[in-house]
Structure formats: structure tokens, C-alpha cells
Amino acid sequence: LAGAVGAFTQSVQQARMLAGREPDSGSWQGQLATGELWLGLAYWQQGRLDDAVDHFRLALAAAERANVLAPGDIDALGLRSSAHNNIAQVLERRGDLPAARREYETVLELQQQLQRQDPDNPDWQAEVGFAHNTLGKLDLRLGRLDSARQHYARDLELKRALVAADPAHRLW
């Protein structure tokens, strides 16, 4: 993993340089966000949660810049969702469940935006279901049983619709 951190660090440094040369390029901001996410994941795998969350936050900032430069860009929205999800997982692992829940709520909102932008894409619908399931699990841990039931019910409803529409889809 040490090699991965080094490689991702070099990639991020290059992306920062390129994004700095063309600060109005949503594409370079997206590349920077992607690199920061991968670097954060490498740190996570090493158990370096502080470094991981720092890079997830840097990824989020770059993805948000990309989203401003290219409003409605599906890739930028997806990067934002990934960054929030990774931040939430670190917060959850650290035991800060209320903060993790806020991040997971943002993930759900972003996944719903992606679903609205591309309603025929079953992957986005599945991701919305997954976000509901994640919130349901966390709500159980927080003792928010009514909310957990609602999230689980919505997840199940989406999964049933997806399976009915395409029983052989690769996601299920």
C-alpha cells in the first residue's frame, strides 16, 4: 500500500498542477477529485483515517468546483457523492454517527439528483436504494426506528421495481 500512496500522491500533484494551469476546466477539477479520492482510499487502507478524510474533503472541494464549472455534469455529481460517502464512512467508523448521518443524507440527495437527470439508468436507481439502505442501517444504530423502516421500505420498493423491469440486470 505504501507504493499506492506514493503513486496516488504523484498523480494528485500532477492533477493539481494541471488544474492550476486551467482553473476553469471542470475536467481537470474532476481529475483532481478522482485522484484525491483514490489517495484517500489508500490512506484509509493503511488505517490513516485523518489523512484519508483530509483527502476526501479535498476531493469534495474539487468535485464541487467541477460541478460549478459544468453544472449538471453527471461525473461531477458522482464524485461529490463518492466524497460525501467516504467522509461518512470515516465519521461512522470513528463513532460520530450524527455527522455520518448528515453526510449520508447528502449522498442520498446527490444520488436522487443523478436519478432525475438520467431516469432510465437503473444504476442510479440502485444507488438511490443503496443510499436508503445505508441510512436505514445507521438509523437503527441511532435508535431512529421509524426513519429506519421508511428507508428500508423505500430501498425494497426500488429493488422490486428494478428487478421487475430487468430481472437479469448485472446489479442483482
| One-letter amino acid for residue 90 of the chain | V
Which whole number is the average pLDDT over 77-82?
96
* Cα separation, 158 vs 164, whole angstroms: 10
> Considering the chain, what is the average pLDDT of its residues?
94
SS3 86: helix
CA angle, 80 as apex, 77 and 83 as ends, to 5°?
150
Task: Give me the pLDDT at residue 1, please.
Answer: 65
HSE (CB half, 13 Å, CA atoms) of 160? 6
In 3D space, the residue among 11, 21, 74 whose CA is nearest the CA of residue 66 turns out to be: 74
Which whole number is the average pLDDT over 148-167?
95
Please tell me the pTM assigned to this model: 0.92
